[in-house]
A = this chain, B = another copy of it.
Amino acid sequence: MGEFGLIHHLTDKISLKNSSTIKGVGDDAAILDYGTKQQVVTTDLLVEGIHFNLMYVPLKHLGYKSVMVNLSDVFAMNATPKQVTVSLAISSKFSVEAIDELYEGIYLACEKYGVDLIGGDTTSSLTGLLISVTALGEIEPGKAVMRSGAQVNDLICVSGDLGGAYMGLQLLERENEVFKVNPKEQPQFDGYDYILERQLKPEARGDIVQALKTLGVTPTSMIDISDGLSSELMHICTQSKVGCLVYEEKIPLDYQTKRFADELSINPLVAALNGGEDYELLFTVPIADHDKIKNDPDITIIGHITEAGTGTQLVTGLGSTIELQAQGWNPLKEEQ
């Protein structure tokens, strides 16, 4: 049934009991009411062998990324991250020095984004490493941006470029295979520093949330791109009860993403649509805000929202229209 199906199955009967719970399961983060302020709450699990491979992921980068993926969800609510808890299950193969390295990355991320580490739990694991992070953010009441607010004719925007994290992963996997065959061979990473960084050290786009505020633009809906553009577009369309039309040629791809995709004979668009882990923001804005955002080099308009029932459509470079599939990065899928 896949991850999304399972979550729906497990949570669709929830009825919220507390007046302080404004929004529960179903967005990038839950929203809690604290009077003059609101809080957003989000949590993510990273599991060795599923989400990361310690053969080539440095522990410091892993610690950094484990915080970042959670901050990305906080920003996707239009909120400001303030605190995180970090829990670890660690197998006996880890030395204190290794755990220190992991925490260096965790603290670096906290430092850079002005976030306090306020708690966690540390236990042993019989097998691999597992990291569970919960992030808490603050927002003014009524200012949270959910997946459900997109309106017909809104412009669809993305920050940065897409597909790079997936291509970085392919590069790391390729070089790891080479290493397994010949451990003396040096990995060939030349010219691919950007896509490696996209995979190993993603940055949550708090700068985009800030830029939109400065531009006087409030997105009508927003989500972070963790599972690939297709999957996130479908979340926004389903929850906003609308359709969308996006243009292949508008989807921002970095030169290295395209070059390495070419090297592997992959269509880089597939990396953008289904690759995941880019941690960019996907959001919609009223068409009236077009002039405010059109000159921001970090924001690309890729399409617009259409009436419900028209589906989530991609206009290809050849002018044909295809229905997008949510083949999002789904760690449960391989096992079912």
Segment among A7-15, A199-207, A227-235, A262-270 that sits at the interface with chain B: A7-15
Segment among A124-132, A173-181, A280-288 that sits at the interface with chain B: A124-132
Please tell me if the beta carbons of B37 and A116 are within 8 angstroms of each other in the complex: no
B10, B39, B45: the one contacting A123 at CB < 8 Å is B45
Residues A120 and B34 in contact in the complex (CB < 8 Å), given A82-B20, A130-B130, A134-B134 = no
In angstroms, how far is the closest chain B Cβ from the Cβ of A133? 9
Residue among A50, A117, A123 facing the most chain B CB atoms (10 A cut-off): A123
Query: How many chain A residues have a CB neighbour from B under 8 Å?
Result: 71
Binary per-residue interface labels of chain A (87-115) against chain B in the complex, 1 for a CB within 8 Å, 0 otherwise: 11110100010011001000000000011
A320 / chain B contacts, CB cutoff of 8 Å: none
Please tell me if the beta carbons of B125 and A10 are within 8 angstroms of each other in the complex: no
In angstroms, how far is the closest chain B Cβ from the Cβ of A263? 30
A332 / chain B contacts, CB cutoff of 8 Å: 90, 122-124
A114 / chain B contacts, CB cutoff of 8 Å: 17-18
Q: CB-nearest residue of chain B relative to A120?
A: B43
User: Does A319 count as interface, using CB distance less than 8 angstroms?
Assistant: no
Please tell me if the beta carbons of A85 and B30 are within 8 angstroms of each other in the complex: yes
In angstroms, how far is the closest chain B Cβ from the Cβ of A256? 29
User: Does A335 count as interface, using CB distance less than 8 angstroms?
Assistant: yes
Segment among A21-29, A54-62, A162-170, A247-255 that sits at the interface with chain B: A21-29
User: Does A191 count as interface, using CB distance less than 8 angstroms?
Assistant: no
Residues A44 and B121 in contact in the complex (CB < 8 Å), given A9-B96, A37-B34, A134-B134 = yes
User: Does A318 count as interface, using CB distance less than 8 angstroms?
Assistant: no
User: Does A35 count as interface, using CB distance less than 8 angstroms?
Assistant: yes
In angstroms, how far is the closest chain B Cβ from the Cβ of A117? 6
Q: CB-nearest residue of chain B relative to A34?
A: B34
Interface residues of A (CB under 8 A from B): 1, 3, 6-7, 9-11, 14, 16-18, 20-21, 23-25, 29-30, 32, 34-37, 39, 41-45, 47-51, 82-83, 85, 87-90, 92, 96, 99-100, 103, 114-128, 130, 132, 134, 136, 138, 331-332, 334-336
